[in-house]
Amino acid sequence: MKKFLQVGIRVQIALATALLVVGLAVLMSFVIGKRSGADLRQQIGIGVSDIALQMADELDRTMWTHRGEVSVLSTLTAFQDFSNTQQMSSIINRLRKEIPIFTWIGILDREGTVVASTGDILLGANIAQRPVFQYGRVGQFIGDVHEAKLLADKFPSSTGEPIQFVDIAVPLTSENDELNGVFAAHLSWEWANTVRRTLFSGQGVHHNVDIFVIAENGTILLGADQEMVGETLSIDALDEARRNHIGWKISTWPDGHEYLTGYAPADGHLDYEGLNWSVLVRQRVEDALQPVYLLRRDILIWGLVLAVVFSSIAWWGAGFFVGPITRMANSIEAMKRGDLDVLPDIRGAREINILSSNLRALLAKLTEKDVALGEMERIAHHDTLTGLGNRMALDVYFEHAIAQADRQKSELAVLMLDLDDFKQINDKLGHAAGDEVLCEVARRLRRCVRGGDLVVRLGGDEMVIVSHVEGDGKSQSITLAERILQEILMPFITGGSRVSICMSIGISLYPRHAQKPERLLNQADQALYAAKARGKNGYVLYSDQDMIGNDASSRA
């Protein structure tokens, strides 16, 4: 700021104009960006939440549909009579051809042996220990996503990753409801990935959207990043989906980035209860708010362009009144150097003429009042006899001294001083001699204190010293009191007479004893009276518990 004020007015006006325009551009960028960002965040959040809900609904509907298909197929007469396995194989292979999602279908007898299957894969194998048989013979069974242990080499994945299935199994019964076997179907999990890629590819503000399907135990079953599949996810949005909540929030994912995350539960469809999957749809906050960032950038660029244009105009326009002001400033500098006695009358615009006339009149009056004000200030803050400060000076000094002590974590020593038996000097030698003694006492007190301390005469022979003390304030204030007493004990020569005099001192400390000046002075005054009561020519340090003092004879 100081360097800015040292340049010319034209430069200041041009810079101020540029800063104003840039400031307005930054303010507009912030306000518009904040408002637009909030609106866009809300819009995208609702969008990703809708996508999550649609994906969850599509998963449940698909599972409900294929579960129904398996249930209907299991009722066919061909699957109730195990004598014609050729017919069973024909129907199964035709079904695989028409509905490719049925990667493998097998008919198991009551012992768990495969009697008919897609492409005769695992034909004759006993899979009685597999969940499709163990649970399928009891009732309708829908198994969660899993890798194919027995079919991995039979159905290699195009991506090289292990193929995954969702199992559907139902019991096959005779007309007497006796268990004949199990109808088992493995649905390729690839259908869910196809739904993710095609149905929710992301358009408009929903570009770069990632969709995840999460198992009940938190395992990622489906995701855009195959490296994440199989990992366990734990974020707040997933917790919301598990509570059957639908919505969106900004969540921090394991990669450390923040995403707008929509969530919805896959909680079944009609009589299909679902597998307690959760669907999460995420979009990077930076990607979502990219339009807002671009808008902010454009506003700032235009702000910089306009700042250059308007500052140039301001530079040109300022020249019309800068000239007279420059001449006026040079004249004032010449007056300060003593080269001019009177400010010349400078002409220019109407406001310049008024300013020039008023400055000339003002400078004349200020010159006249300067000396008078200095003298008035000296009289107002000093004692006319001794030249020491007075009560007004003490009040002003206290305000600054206490603030300085607080900043420096130091203490102030307040010493209340009173000459012992001073009245006898006035009575014996006269008031003129007494005044000489007071002036000499003032000179000696000044020699005892440091430059930043204050010596004040309150009236008569009563004086106050306020001194900054560091470290042990009690010890330093006592040292100062002892130095003063030694200095005052030196004889005084007044009116041709040799006069000896002594002094009593009361001491209080800020902030140890009090924090307000009035209280400190009162405590120092109490300590002064205690010093006089103990025989004079000594000091007493104020204490809340008692008065700890000393005198000249005990010090000797």
Residues annotated as catalytic (active site), given as ranges:
461
- Kindly give, in sequence order, each residue whose CB lies less than 8 Å from that of residue 370, ignoring residues fewer than 6 positions away: none
- Kindly give, in sequence order, each residue whose CB lies less than 8 Å from that of residue 523, ignoring residues fewer than 6 positions away: 414, 506, 508, 513, 514, 542
Report the distance separating Cα 8 and Cα 19, nearest Å: 16
Report the distance separating Cα 36 and Cα 39, nearest Å: 5
Gyration radius (Cα) of the chain, Å: 49
Per-residue DSSP letter, 78: G
Q: Which two tokens stand for residue 240?
A: 């919301």
Phi, psi of 413 (to 5 degrees): -100, 125
Q: Is 192 in contact with 222 (CB distance < 8 Å)? A: yes
Q: Which two tokens stand for residue 424?
A: 């006898």
Q: Is 280 exposed, middle or buried (0-12, 13-18, 19+ CB in 10 A)?
A: buried
Report the distance separating Cα 550 and Cα 496, nearest Å: 33
3-state DSSP assignment of residue 496: coil
Cα separations in angstroms, 315 against 121, 141, 312, 349, 555: 89, 84, 5, 18, 77
Give alpha helix (H) positions in 382-516: 391-408, 422-429, 431-448, 473-489
Interstrand relation of 503-510 and 538-541 (parallel, antiparallel or unpaired)? parallel
Which DSSP helix (H) or strand (E) runs through 66? helix 9-73
CA atoms within 13 A on the CB side of 43: 13
